[in-house]
Chains A and B, each alone.
Chain A
């Protein structure tokens, strides 16, 4: 029989253990103090996405410590440090450590808004909840709660089970097939960025020749099939709508009136001895909004602006002396503006705009706003509107009053005059001779040439001449006609005025659906969620113009990354006879156009019927396809940057 009391044997065992531990301890210490330390303690291969990381300290705050440091680190809580190391590379927005990378308040509000009830749960989920082991609402989560590393390069670091998700969610269910709530307005959470009525186009506007052959004529997959995108204007809408944008068929002006001489009741002004110098008698329109914006930073104009109010400038018979003086100030401010633009050029315009906007403008910002406006354009317009502008201004500055029909002292430089309209393009090189050519007093033109010129003017108007876009003057306004779709000049003025409160009139003018370019016929404008229309008008900084088919001002709770994602590519082969309409059925009953009557993207009616869960669970059930939450939902939502941050220089 074995004798456990055998002292010699136990002594042998004891010695064996002691020596084993001593030798091992020595070996371990030797290896840990050598160059092979990291290779020795590395617990396993990194996943493919992290395989390029060679330094342990990129992810582990304890990596560069000694054994004593490891002991301290092991006995203290340095989880936050390691999580921050993850965030050195991974941009997860403002709330990286909270559930779904969004604020706990948002998560709570979503939970409350859904008002779902438990429709069953697996035994494990039930057990975890009963035990109170699941993370509590608002708890901070570590990256490693879900992402396990050092498990081999074949492992998927983002893989997680449905039970993981269910254990946190207060309302749970067994599987997608069994208990997942019915979709709510999926996939349309807001109106489309582009106002394109599929129903009316398919049923009414597309004729046989122009009709797209399938949805894929305009829509294609992108981002490896994760998204369906709409092709650009040139490939889709241009064949029918280019003329609309250029304004070829418009009855009203095709251009955007940049500068306009306002009409004034000059008879009353003269009668009341209010001196404004020379002023075109047939001017009968108001200030252009852009001109008004440029005048705002003129202190004289700013003073009289409240007095002018809603005064009818074309009928001043009942106006008070104060109002008449204010009108005179307006008139001189307009002339001064023109004179300053001529004298100061684009530098003056930039300064004026910066004063109006109360912020500096970079070269990149100012350049598209001026559309390389040539001096000759302004000079010519000034000559036509105020032939004696220089003399006028000289007299005004010297405090001398005179009336235009009084003989004037001849100015030092002959003042040019022009005919009723001119056309300018960026390439137009108008010399002084050419500019002064229309001057009735000029002797540069003989009679035949005058006839020839006037015949040409009868044949084609300046507006028609710039059919393909550019600057032109028509009567008492200087216009810019859009060169076509995505015209940079209109686009930049729209964006600028949308975000500046004192440019509201300009924004209203440009954003009108019938404005030149008709930008807003198709491009929607969003306002920040939760801000009322009227509030938005007062604080237009929240407006976003959707130039692209994918809205930039999406659901503000989540920013760019939503909880739900859908890959079209694997599903394209599943279409039935109805093609895309197998899932996206047209809905003629909804009033799609009504969705674009305000700035609220979330209040809308879709062209398509909402998808139903039954469409998906015909495949996503226990017998056909997986039902993992992550098939359709992504955990990290919110305002996320690029997956990998770039290093600072």
Chain B
């Protein structure tokens, strides 16, 4: 714990130093009659490219081995620096040109989705790690849900064959059958508000004293399958969230890149060239 705090402290201290150096360089550049907007603009551009490399390295083993660095940490640090430089670049004023507004909008989208993603990543990964010792692969969750649903259906069919009238079968048919094969409410899982599903556990447990012995055994097996389904729902919701935020973050990044290119072109074409 102490080691992690020390590492954090070192990282933030380094970040502050880098920011201070950049700010001083910017001010020196400014008073020296250079185009200070160009300095901050190019810094932003390089930081943007560096952050895009984070996604490239995920697909590139060579890049990962070439640069043995904490990619995520760097991505986040660069993001924080970018926010400050962006504010300096726009003079903390909202531009009133269309391209400028789109740039501010897309940058804000990238930042907000990035911060949300960072929160999701850190919080949900820790939660998932705490939840289960066994790794559940996101791509297999729906298949496993199907398996659990088939097992539950088969169990209830067996129960119905043995007992003409079974409260357990009736309860399953009326309340659970349709929900077993599909993922449950993602929002309920993410917010921890899945009481309606947990209610089923209590209802079935309260039925057990009134069931035949073999029927009670089947009820306990059904409870196990329901718990598995709940676990799969939990993983599905949280692992899904870890992926879905990128579907916002990445398009905003693409918009930002496209308009940055246009912005650079316009700035140089209309301010006398490079």
Genuine A/B complex: yes
Interface residues of A (CB under 8 A from B): 1-4, 6, 8-10, 12-13, 16-17, 20-21, 24-25, 28, 39-45, 56, 60, 62-63, 65, 67, 69-71, 73-83, 124-125, 127-128, 131, 133-135, 141-142, 144-146, 150-152, 161, 163-164, 166-168
A127 to chain B, nearest CB (A): 5
From A71, A133, A163, give the contact of B34 (CB < 8 A). A133
Instruction: Say whether B271 contacts A134, CB under 8 Å.
Output: no
Q: Which residues of A contact B59 (CB under 8 A)?
A: 10
A39 to chain B, nearest CB (A): 7
Q: Which residues of A contact B33 (CB under 8 A)?
A: 134-135, 141, 145-146, 164, 167-168
Q: Which of B91-108 contact A (CB under 8 A)?
A: 91, 93, 95-100
Closest Cβ neighbor of B136 among chain A residues: A1
Q: Which residues of B contact A77 (CB under 8 A)?
A: 272-274
Instruction: Say whether B250 contacts A16, CB under 8 Å.
Output: yes
CB-defined interface of B16-33 with A at 8 Å, one 1/0 digit per residue? 000000001001110111
A42 to B31, CA, bound (A): 26
Report if B266 contacts A (CB, 8 A): yes
Q: Which residues of A contact B254 (CB under 8 A)?
A: 16-17, 20-21, 24
From B137, B247, B274, give the contact of A16 (CB < 8 A). B247
Q: Which of B198-221 contact A (CB under 8 A)?
A: none
Closest Cβ neighbor of A144 among chain B residues: B271
Q: Give the dominant DSSP class at B's interface.
A: helix
Instruction: Say whether B258 contacts A133, CB under 8 Å.
Output: no
Instruction: Say whether B265 contacts A124, CB under 8 Å.
Output: no
A311 to B2, CA, bound (A): 115
Instruction: Say whether A24 contacts B97, CB under 8 Å.
Output: no
Which of B162-170, B176-184, B238-246 interfaces with chain A? B238-246
Q: Which residues of B contact A40 (CB under 8 A)?
A: 98-99
Q: Which residues of B contact A6 (CB under 8 A)?
A: 138-139, 243
Report if B118 contacts A (CB, 8 A): no
Closest Cβ neighbor of B55 among chain A residues: A13
Report if B81 contacts A (CB, 8 A): no
Instruction: Say whether B269 contacts A44, CB under 8 Å.
Output: no
Instruction: Say whether A73 contacts B273, CB under 8 Å.
Output: yes
Q: Which residues of B contact A43 (CB under 8 A)?
A: 95, 97, 99-100, 266
Closest Cβ neighbor of A40 among chain B residues: B98
Q: Which residues of B contact A8 (CB under 8 A)?
A: 139
B271 to chain A, nearest CB (A): 7
Contacts A16-B251, A63-B270, A82-B271 given; does A150 touch B97 at CB 8 Å: yes
Instruction: Say whether B138 contacts A3, CB under 8 Å.
Output: yes
Interface residues of B (CB under 8 A from A): 24, 27-29, 31-35, 55, 58-59, 91, 93, 95-100, 121, 125, 128-129, 135, 137-139, 239, 242-243, 246-247, 250-251, 253-255, 257-259, 262, 264-266, 268-274
A2 to B235, CA, bound (A): 10
Q: Which residues of A contact B34 (CB under 8 A)?
A: 133
Contacts A17-B250, A24-B254, A40-B99 given; does A134 touch B268 at CB 8 Å: no
Q: Which residues of A contact B100 (CB under 8 A)?
A: 43-44
A75 to B272, CA, bound (A): 9
Contacts A4-B58, A71-B265 given; does A167 touch B31 at CB 8 Å: yes
Instruction: Say whether A74 contacts B31, CB under 8 Å.
Output: no
Q: Which residues of A contact B29 (CB under 8 A)?
A: 133
From B28, B58, B121, B273, give the contact of A131 (CB < 8 A). B28
From B251, B257, B272, give the contact of A142 (CB < 8 A). B272
Instruction: Say whether B138 contacts A74, CB under 8 Å.
Output: no
A54 to chain B, nearest CB (A): 16
Closest Cβ neighbor of B129 among chain A residues: A1
Instruction: Say whether A2 contacts B239, CB under 8 Å.
Output: yes
A13 to B58, CA, bound (A): 12
A619 to B97, CA, bound (A): 41
Instruction: Say whether B135 contacts A62, CB under 8 Å.
Output: no
Q: Which residues of B contact A44 (CB under 8 A)?
A: 95-97, 100
Instruction: Say whether B98 contacts A73, CB under 8 Å.
Output: no
The 7 closest A-B pairs by CB, nearest first: A79-B272, A74-B268, A133-B32, A70-B269, A43-B97, A20-B254, A163-B31
B111 to chain A, nearest CB (A): 18
A10 to B32, CA, bound (A): 46
**Mind listing 13 A-B residue pairs with CB under 8 Å?**
A6-B139, A8-B139, A39-B98, A41-B99, A67-B265, A75-B273, A134-B32, A134-B33, A141-B33, A144-B272, A146-B33, A150-B97, A167-B32
Q: Which residues of A contact B138 (CB under 8 A)?
A: 2-3, 6
A25 to chain B, nearest CB (A): 7
Q: Which residues of A contact B257 (CB under 8 A)?
A: 21
Instruction: Say whether B28 contacts A76, CB under 8 Å.
Output: no
A133 to B91, CA, bound (A): 22
Interface centre among B128, B258, B273 (most CB of A within 10 A): B273
A9 to chain B, nearest CB (A): 6
A604 to chain B, nearest CB (A): 37
B246 to chain A, nearest CB (A): 7
Instruction: Say whether B242 contacts A128, CB under 8 Å.
Output: no
A2 to chain B, nearest CB (A): 5
B75 to chain A, nearest CB (A): 13
Instruction: Say whether B251 contacts A20, CB under 8 Å.
Output: yes
A185 to B157, CA, bound (A): 111
Q: Which residues of A contact B129 (CB under 8 A)?
A: 1
A141 to B272, CA, bound (A): 13
Please give 15 more A-B residue pairs, beta carbons under 8 A apart, in addition to A3-B138, A77-B272, A133-B29.
A1-B129, A8-B139, A13-B247, A21-B257, A41-B270, A42-B97, A43-B99, A71-B269, A77-B274, A81-B272, A133-B28, A144-B35, A146-B33, A151-B93, A163-B31
Instruction: Say whether B272 contacts A78, CB under 8 Å.
Output: yes
Instruction: Say whether B125 contacts A41, CB under 8 Å.
Output: no
Q: Which residues of A contact B250 (CB under 8 A)?
A: 13, 16-17
Q: Which residues of A contact B55 (CB under 8 A)?
A: 13
Instruction: Say whether B266 contacts A25, CB under 8 Å.
Output: no
B49 to chain A, nearest CB (A): 15
From A28, A39, A63, A128, give the contact of B28 (CB < 8 A). A128
Q: Which residues of B contact A146 (CB under 8 A)?
A: 33
Q: Which residues of A contact B139 (CB under 8 A)?
A: 3, 6, 8
Instruction: Say whether B274 contacts A41, CB under 8 Å.
Output: no
Q: Which residues of B contact A141 (CB under 8 A)?
A: 33
From A9, A65, A125, give the contact of B269 (CB < 8 A). A65
Closest Cβ neighbor of A134 among chain B residues: B32
A6 to chain B, nearest CB (A): 6
A165 to chain B, nearest CB (A): 9
A40 to B100, CA, bound (A): 10
Q: Which residues of B contact A1 (CB under 8 A)?
A: 125, 128-129, 135, 239
